[in-house]
């Protein structure tokens, strides 16, 4: 069997991208850093950017789409997104992208990989998170949401690997030297998940088969790696739940998982 891979390449407000492969098909979930940085980070894990078969886009914010123009113009890389995100992309991208439209709530395939986009709450037109099936392995990729709905919980149940938002500590948001509007947005139901909300979600969906969780999209100003990790562990440990946790980094490649 070909080696399957999950590796966050960038995670945070300065850019997001996650590499997923079943050994045959090579996909990026978002491409929100420069094409040069993306190329370098892929090379670190032994992947050529020319070999990327497509980019699956969660929503149109700049920290998720920065490399799309160059990926389209240089490599003709297909872009997968829903209709509302496609409309938004056409307004902001200089190069007409090679768009392949999916429907939120309906699964689609690329090669042998099955991708299911589902709705989340964030301040864009039709933001989505994803579950990814590679054979009998299920991944969850879920960031940029202000609130965990029952739909989110239902879709993330039974995952073997999770890449999930643990964006901020509310006290640090309140203390930040930022405008009130920024704080209101981050803390709103269309903003980002707090460490505590992430911990509650993990408590709700934890099962013995959950092998590894990446804490993603940590705020550089309103969170700290040790606080995020401690919050999750403190919530899970009293119930006897064990979990392998790591942080997805902003400025470098994170742990490469192969399975």
pLDDT digits (tens, 9 = 90+) for 162-219: 999 999 888 888 888 888 877 787 777 777 899 999 999 999 999 999 999 999 999 9
Please give the structure tokens belonging to residue 252.
Answer: 């470098």
Under a CB-based contact definition with an 8 Å cutoff, are residues 96 and 90 in contact?
yes
Q: What pLDDT is attached to residue 1? A: 59
In a domain, residue 259? The reply is: no
In a domain, residue 21? The reply is: yes
In a domain, residue 98? The reply is: yes
Backbone region of residue 246 per phi and psi (left: phi > 0; alpha: psi in -120 to 50; beta: other values): beta
Give alpha helix (H) positions in 109-179. 150-156, 170-175
pLDDT digits (tens, 9 = 90+) for 43-84: 999 999 999 999 999 999 999 999 999 999 999 999 999 999
User: Residue 84 sits in which domain range?
Assistant: 5-253
CATH number for the domain spanning 189: value is: 3.60.15.10
Query: Which has the closest alpha carbon to 198: 229, 171, 232, 224?
Result: 232
pLDDT digits (tens, 9 = 90+) for 86-116: 999 999 999 888 899 999 999 999 999 999 9
In a domain, residue 258? The reply is: no
Could you give the number of structural domains in the chain? 1
In a domain, residue 179? The reply is: yes
Give alpha helix (H) positions in the chain. 35-44, 62-65, 68-75, 83-92, 150-156, 170-175, 180-187, 195-205, 225-236
């Amino acid at each position: 069997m070909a080696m399957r891979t999950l590796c966050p390449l960038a995670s945070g407000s300065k850019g997001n991208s996650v590499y997923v492969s079943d050994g045959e098909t090579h996909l990026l979930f978002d491409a929100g850093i420069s094409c040069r940085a993306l190329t370098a980070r892929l090379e670190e894990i032994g992947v050529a950017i020319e070999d990327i078969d497509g980019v699956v886009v969660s929503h149109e914010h700049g920290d998720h789409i920065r490399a799309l123009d160059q990926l389209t113009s240089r490599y003709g890389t297909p872009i997968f997104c829903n209709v509302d995100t496609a409309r938004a992309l056409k307004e902001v991208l200089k190069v007409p992208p090679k768009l392949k439209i999916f429907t939120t709530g309906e699964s689609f395939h690329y090669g042998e990989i099955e991708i299911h986009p589902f709705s989340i709450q964030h301040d864009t037109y039709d933001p989505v998170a994803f579950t990814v099936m590679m054979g009998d392995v299920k991944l969850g990729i879920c960031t940029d949401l202000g609130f965990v709905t029952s739909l989110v919980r239902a879709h993330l149940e039974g995952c073997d690997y999770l890449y999930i938002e643990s964006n901020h500590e509310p006290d640090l948001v309140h203390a930040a030297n930022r405008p009130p509007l920024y704080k209101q947005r981050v803390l709103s139901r269309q903003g980002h998940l707090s460490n505590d909300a992430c911990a509650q979600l993990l408590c709700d969906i934890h099962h013995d088969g959950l092998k590894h969780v990446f804490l993603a999209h940590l705020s550089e100003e309103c969170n700290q790696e040790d606080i995020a990790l401690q919050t999750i562990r403190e919530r899970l440990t009293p119930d006897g739940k064990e979990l392998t946790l790591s942080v997805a980094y902003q400025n470098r490649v994170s742990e490469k998982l192969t399975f």
